[in-house]
Amino acid sequence: MNLYITIEDKSKLKKAFLNLRKQQIIVVDEVVVELGYEVGQVDDYASFIVNQRIKKIITSTASGKKMQSIIYVNLNLNDEIIRGLIHFCQDSTVVDRVILLTEKGKNEELYELFDEILFFPTIKKVHIIECITVPVTWLEETE
C-alpha cells in the first residue's frame, strides 16, 4: 500500500482522480474538527491527540484490504511533518512507499525527502494506479 502526501486540497483530488472511493483520504483539518478543536487554535496537547488519531487511521487502513492507498492532505505541510510520517510508516505500518503528490514545478524543496514523486495529471479524472518507477538521468551526469 502507498501513502500519498499532498499540500493540495480535497477538491483538487476530486477533479483529478476517479477512483477516490478506493482511497482513504485523511484531511488534517477535518480530523481536527472531528476531534472538537478549532483549526487555527491547536495547542501541543491537541496536536498530540490529532497525530495519534491520524496514526491510527493510517495503521488500520494499511492493514486492511478495502482500500488501495492512503492520501494524506495537509495544507500546512512542512519538513518535520513529512519526516515524522515517513519514519512512522517505515517503523510501524505495512505502508510500502511514501510518495509526494504535487503539481509539476511546485514544492520542489520537498522532493529530496521522497524516493518517489507523483504529479497531478494534466488530463482530468484519471485513476490512481500502481505506478512503476522510471529512472531519471540528470543532465549533469550526461555531460
Distance CA 7, CA 74 (A): 5
Which pLDDT value is given to residue 117? 85
Which pLDDT value is given to residue 73? 92
First vs last C-alpha separation in the chain: 38
Domains of the chain, first to last: 2-142 (3.40.50)
pLDDT values of the chain reduced to their tens digit, one per residue, 143 residues: 888 999 988 888 887 777 788 888 899 989 999 988 888 888 888 889 999 999 999 988 888 888 888 899 988 888 888 888 888 888 888 888 888 888 888 888 888 888 888 887 776 665 565 555 666 666 555 55
> pTM of the entire structure?
0.80
CA of residue 42 relative to chain centroid, distance? 21
